[in-house]
Structure 1
Amino acid sequence: MGTAELKLVEKNYSIRIERIKQIKSNAYFVKTKDGKRYFLKVSRVDKEHVDFIIKIFSHLKNTSFKSHLIDFQKTIDGGFYFLDEHKKIYLLCKWIDGRSADFRNVFDLRRVVSVLYHLHLASLSFAEKIESSFHSSYQEVFRRKYSQVIQMKNIIHQKDDFSCFDKAFLKVLRRFEDRFVESIHMIKKVEDYFKEENQRVLIHHDPAHHNFIFSETGVYLIDFDYAMVDYSVHDFVNLGVRVLKTNDWDTNVFRIYLKCLDDKNIIKKFWLQTFWILMYFPQEIWQVGLQYYFEKQPWTEDYFLKRLKGAERIQAGKEMIIKKIAGGISKWH
């Protein structure tokens, strides 16, 4: 972070920085000259979504979930963030000493499930007020993403020369493309019934291990950049895939994870069917293609190939888990 940016932070938060250390690409540890310690995030999330995040915090601070939140520091003008001339958004909050969740540890796993479940319950009234403008059906989402996959194939076939990634992506699609179609077919059968039994909530949408901070004073949930209104099953599928990756696709660990969900009475009618269908959908393959063909992320060809290989392994792993624990996806046809 440059001198000009540091001065902006000092000015807007009325602090004097003694030391700053980068801990992620957009996150910093800050120590002030009066001994206070902060977490500084510099975000390129659009202002509208940051305002949405602030609304989330304002709601949750008035619920029992407040014990899992780290307060934002207010700027000198009473706001929760400021923008620089490049429209980058700066947010500052108290530094919490702690560790990330360990998805190999059953105790941590139970606590993480409990925190997410608590978030969903605490956000019910919030979600009810805004759900119509923030949510598409899973059928619509699946169809849109598959349509993008078709566009990706068209982009490739319009080229005179295929890149290494083009060839690899087509090979992966030859193996897994029918999963997109099957997922659309299956979710169409259960989604209406699922909606009758389940309510939309606020989901975190990025339940990675580093977003759960275990400290002496409790477990904190951080980084709501991807938060949205949806059904709890979406959060728990995302968490489940991360648990599987961390534990080398161990079916026994995943059974423990499902037991954690069952112990909280999270699994309702048609919930588990929807869970397996969302897991079956080739989300990771679509995402890598999106980053390469549409977003045109400035990564090397080798890095994209590595990400595609990882996405292929994840899809194969998900299907193996579905077969071993749910008896295979064919039973939901």
Structure 2
Amino acid sequence: NGFNAPIAYERTLDNDICIEDGEYIYYVLPWIECRQCKFKKNEDLIKAIKLSAEFHKAASGLKIPDGSQPRIYYGKWPENFQKRLDEIKLFKSIIETKKIKDEFDEVFYPLIDFHLNQGYEAIDLLKNSSYQSISEKARERSEFCHHDMAEHNFLITPTGEMRIIDFDYCIMDTRLHDVASLVIRNMKHGIWDISKAYFILNEYSKHYPIDDEELKVIKYFTVFPQDFWQVGLQYYVEKQPWAMENFMSRLNRVKDDYKLREAFLKEYLAL
């Protein structure tokens, strides 16, 4: 659809875009001289927002290739949030059955009920919004999300052209998923700034308008305590092979942020 920001795969001698060896699938991208986008730099952030809107416009109407197994998320946010809340309850029961609590348990446990309540609030808000009708329209348009709006996935060439990479986590879902994620990515680590959140939303709307009902859905997505759930999953279920120092660093970022985040959400939802 005329959107050239993704970096195209190199084709094999057989004109395929990948090679399989029975266990893994391999693909190759050409090397492009560039630097990583920095969301803290206003000009970089503006470019990333504009590119995201252009991507969502171009991606709408995607025809799913035969034989593919797309991750389809239309209308599933409440269901997915509920599964994550059930997992947080599991983390709680794991801690409660331990005879000896470790450092992570001692910090994580007192935060559980607060974040569970936030998660239930997110579900209730979505259920009483236009989320399902918005999702159904997104399904009809075959909307497509990048699903990893991190700054390291936006690259800037020496001439100032921006490219987007890493579609490993892409999903079939309303574009609002990406927009909400872009806001959240710019709010973490002590930067819960309502003016910056609205700056991102207003910039995006210049290129792909967001109506009032869609704005509410973006806000309700933001209420869910994704970072708290994720660090718990990494520790209690995935058991990532990280040092305790790494886990505590991630958890303490959530702990240090949660009051700021709560104040931000109250103002965000009220506007």
Structure 1 and Structure 2 fold alike (TM over 0.5): yes
SS at match of 2:240: coil
Contact 2:190 2:260 in 1 (8 A): no
Match of 2:87 among 124, 148, 152: 148
Cα deviation digits, residues 245-299 of structure 1 (max 9, x gap): 3883333333321220232343124211111111110011011111111111111
Cα deviation digits, residues 295-325 of structure 1 (max 9, x gap): 1111122211111112234444433323334
Q: For 1:117-156, what aligned pairs fall within 5 Å after superposition?
A: 117-126=53-62, 134-135=72-73, 137-156=76-95
Instruction: Report what 1:35 is aligned to.
Output: none
Displacement, 1:144? Answer: 0.9
Letter in 1 for 2:231: V
| 2:155 paired with 1:213 | yes
Cα deviation digits, residues 14-55 of structure 1 (max 9, x gap): xxxxxxxxxxxxxxxxxxxxxxxxxxxxxxxxxxxxxxxxxx
| 2:146 paired with 1:204 | yes
Q: TM-score, normalised by structure 1?
A: 0.71
Deviates more, 1:251-260 or 1:314-323: 314-323
Match of 2:132 among 189, 192, 211: 192
Letter in 2 for 1:189: N
Contact 1:101 1:214 in 2 (8 A): yes
Match of 2:5 among 68, 74, 77: 68
Distance 2:221 2:64 in 1: 23
Q: Which has the higher contact order (CA 8 A, sep 6+)?
A: 2
Distance 1:217 1:93 in 2: 20
Contact 1:212 1:219 in 2 (8 A): yes
Distance 2:44 2:206 in 1: 15
Question: Over aligned residues, Cα RMSD in angstroms?
Answer: 2.7
Distance 2:138 2:243 in 1: 42
Displacement, 1:183? Answer: 1.4
Contact 2:219 2:268 in 1 (8 A): no
Displacement, 1:198? Answer: 4.8
In structure 2, runs of 5+ residues without a counterpart are none
Deviates more, 1:248-257 or 1:170-179: 248-257
Instruction: Report what 2:199 is aligned to.
Output: 256
Contact 2:176 2:218 in 1 (8 A): yes
Displacement, 1:217? Answer: 6.8
Cα deviation digits, residues 74-127 of structure 1 (max 9, x gap): 234443233557x34433211111222221233322221221122222222216
Q: For 1:218-297, what aligned pairs fall within 5 Å after superposition?
A: 218-245=161-188, 248-297=191-240
SS at match of 2:101: coil
Displacement, 1:193? Answer: 4.3
Distance 1:140 1:89 in 2: 31
Contact 1:285 1:311 in 2 (8 A): yes
Q: TM-score, normalised by structure 2?
A: 0.86
| Larger Rg belongs to | 1
Instruction: Report what 2:50 is aligned to.
Output: 114
Deviates more, 1:251-260 or 1:295-304: 251-260
Higher strand proportion:
1
Displacement, 1:240? Answer: 0.9
Cα deviation digits, residues 178-233 of structure 1 (max 9, x gap): 11121121111112344366555111111111111111272111011111111111
Distance 1:122 1:148 in 2: 36
